Amino acid sequence: MNLTDLVTILPLAVLAVWATLLLLVDLWIPKDRKGITAVLAALGLALAMGLSLTRGQQPQQAFGGMVIVDGFAIFLDMIFLVSGLLSIALAHDYLKRMNLARGEYYALLLYAISGMILMTYAYDLIIVFLALELLSIPLYILSGFIRLNSRSEEAALKYFLLGAFSSGLVLYGVALIFGATARTDLPGILAAVQQASANPAMLLVGGALLLVGFSFKSAIVPFHEWVPDVYQGAPSSVTAFMSVGAKAAGFAALMRVFVTAFPTLSADFTPVLWGLSALTMIVGNVIALAQTNLKRLLAYSSIAQAGYLMMAFVPYAQGMVLSDTIAAMLFFLVGYMFTTLGAWAVVIAVEKAEGKGLEMTDYAGLGRRHPWLAAAMTLFMLSFIGVPPTLGFWGKFYLFRTAVEGGFTTLALLGLLASIFSAFYYFRVVVMMFMQTGKAEARRDPWLALTLGITSLGVIGFGLLPGSLLNLALQAVLKLL
């Protein structure tokens, strides 16, 4: 290790150190003034963001090829950092209201983001595993942050058990791949396969185990069973962050590993990925229809959205469309981030203590009493459905188009049908807010309002000018290859 290595991963290093210092500094911050901790955490994220953006755009390896920092990584890091900032804005008032204001919350959030950033840097399976643990463990704790609440404890335990299980699968997969190729670095694995020195069966099983492990993280059907319970039990501000960050990190890892190391296995994997994508879209959307609790509805909706994302992954070995499909995935993730965080911000505004205010009927009449809030929620629901000119529309559009380019027209059509179907339940929320009478009440908080403003602006602004965002995503991709 030398200085250049550290400079290469500077944003990550700064963030991790900042989180540790924050834990210490927090000891001297009085219990009723945890807002200071929140501001400090946000400063740390902003600093990491600045460092990421100012570093050179050239791909750079460090630590003997174990990490790589390139456009792909930086683009995803921006997603993590922005969603981190937004979820701090979401959390501050919520935690106070729910009696959860503790400084560790923000430190843990920063650790989780460090793990996600490390995941995007990973160029070696060992680092992939390290990042997976670094991002998961803080999230387990955060899920159980409502201590003594049985739902939250259930969520933490469930998440931890299944997370540990999936980490085990990933680790076993890494071991098998090492056994097959004697390498753990991603280019090295590919080289070993190309020189035909690898054991094909072992490699395939190893790859499959990695896929299963990350499918747990990204909530791909049939590895999604934990999602509704955890999303419902965890504090809403955590769920908001988790449903963006953890999912994106899972996809980042899959993309990096499979594109760099396993393009030769595509004949075996493509049908499986096709099936997973189709299954996730169908199951997520169908079960979402039966939900009456907003948290569970958004949980199943996030599963369905993961199914659309998976679509980008299906043609991962086709060099011709690869850059398009990665760009489509990155673009979709940005839309997903804005839409999801916005929708969760509304949920947080309406939620009351002790898990009240989360049923669909609690939203009746919201349009009368809080027209801006209800209008924002409508915008996010439309973006989830994919109605133009929202960002969600363009995200789906680019995804479906690359699926067609890759020769998976049936899958794209399936996605389209699933989207139409999803209109049923997303629209129910809108109907409830505007067309039913009720006494919905919501919290007014400037930070929440700011979050809603930024996310709405993102959904509409980028929706009207999708070209600029797509160009950014395309640039990010070119540097990956």
Partner 1 sequence: MTINPLVLLTFFPLAGALLVVFLPAENRKTLRWTALGTSLVTFALSLWALSLYRVGEASMQLVINQPWFKIGSSQVSFIMGVDGISILLVLLTTFLTPISILSTWSAVQEHVKGFMLLFLLLESGMLGVFLALDLALFYIFWEFTLIPMIFLIGIWGGENKVYAAVKFFLFTMVGSVLMLLAILFLGLQAGTFSWMELAANRGLFAAAQIVLFLAFGVAFAIKVPMWPLHTWLPDAHVEAPTAGSVILAGVLLKMGAYGFLRFNLSLFPQATVQLAPWMAVLAIIGILYGAAVSYAQKDMKKLVAYSSVSHLGFVMLGIFALNFQGMSGAVLQMVNHGISTGALFLIVGMLYERRHTRALAEFGGVWKSMPVLGGIAMVVMLSSAGLPGLNGFVGEFTILLGAFGAKALGSPWFAGFATLGVILAAVYLLYWFEKVFFGAIHKEENRVLRDLNFREIITLTPLLIVIFWIGLYPKPFFNLINPGVEQLAALIQSAAVALH
- Which residues, numbered 178-207, are part of the site for partner 1 (CB under 8 A)? none
The CA distance from 40 to 36, in Å, is 6
Query: In this complex, which beta carbon is closest to partner 1, that of residue 178 or of residue 397?
Result: 397
Among 160, 308, 434, 462, binds partner 1 (CB under 8 A): 434
**Given 290, 371, 439, 457, the residue binding partner 1 (CB under 8 A):** 371
CA pair distance 141, 67, nearest whole angstrom: 27
Q: In angstroms, rounded to a whole number, what is the distance separating the alpha carbons of residues 99 and 44?
A: 25
Q: Which of 161, 431, 457, 478 binds partner 1 (CB under 8 A)?
A: 431
Question: Whole-angstrom distance between the N-terminal and C-terminal Cα of the chain?
Answer: 26
Distance CA 113, CA 130 (A): 13
The least CB distance from residue 466 to partner 1, in Å, is 6
Cα 361 to its chain centre, rounded Å, is 28
Segment near partner 1 (CB under 8 A); pick from 214-222, 238-246, 354-362, 385-393: 385-393
Task: State which of residues 397, 441, 443, 475 lies at the interface with partner 1 (CB under 8 A).
Answer: 397
- Residue 425 has which token pair? 């339940």
Interface size with partner 1, residues (CB under 8 A): 22
Q: Residues 405-424: x/- map of binding to partner 1 (CB under 8 A)?
A: -----------x--xx--xx
Minimum Å gap between C-beta 469 and partner 1 is 10
| Residue 271 lies near partner 1 (rule: CB under 8 A) | no
Collapsed DSSP state (helix, strand, coil) of residue 339: helix
Stretches 118-126, 127-135, 173-181, 464-472: which one binds partner 1 (CB under 8 A)? 464-472
Q: What percentage of the chain's residues is helix, strand, coil (to nearest 5)? A: 80, 5, 15
CB 176 within 8 A of CB 159: no
Nearest CA among 447, 91, 137, 93 for reference residue 238? 91
Minimum Å gap between C-beta 454 and partner 1 is 19
Q: Is 436 in the site for partner 1 (CB under 8 A)?
A: yes
Amino acid at 471: N
Nearest approach in angstroms of CB 448 to partner 1 is 20
The least CB distance from residue 347 to partner 1, in Å, is: 22
Q: What angle do CA 415, 210, 143 make, to 5 degrees?
A: 80
286 binds partner 1 (CB under 8 A): no
Distance CA 142, CA 428 (A): 30
Under the binding rule (CB under 8 A), the answer on residue 481 touching partner 1 is: no
Q: Does 163 bind partner 1 (CB under 8 A)?
A: no
Q: What span, in angstroms and rounded, lies between the C-alpha atoms of 49 and 58?
A: 17
Contact 189, 177 (CB under 8 A): yes
391-405 vs 371-385: helix axis angle to the nearest 10? 0
For the purposes of burial, counting CB atoms within 10 Å of the CB of 177, is it exposed (0-12), middle (13-18) or buried (19 or more)? buried
Q: Nearest approach, Cβ of 435 to partner 1 (angstroms)?
A: 4
Q: How far is the CB of 323 from partner 1 (least distance, A)?
A: 12
460 lies in the site for partner 1, by CB under 8 A: no
Residue 369, interface with partner 1 (CB under 8 A)? no
Residue 199 or 436 with smaller CB distance to partner 1: 436
Q: Does 290 bind partner 1 (CB under 8 A)?
A: no
CA dist 101 and 93 (Å) reads 9
Min dist CB 248 to partner 1, Å, is: 24
Say whether residue 388 binds partner 1 (CB under 8 A).
yes
Query: Which residues of the chain form contacts with partner 1 (CB under 8 A)?
Result: 367-368, 371, 382, 387-389, 397, 401, 416, 419-420, 423-424, 427, 431, 434-436, 465-467
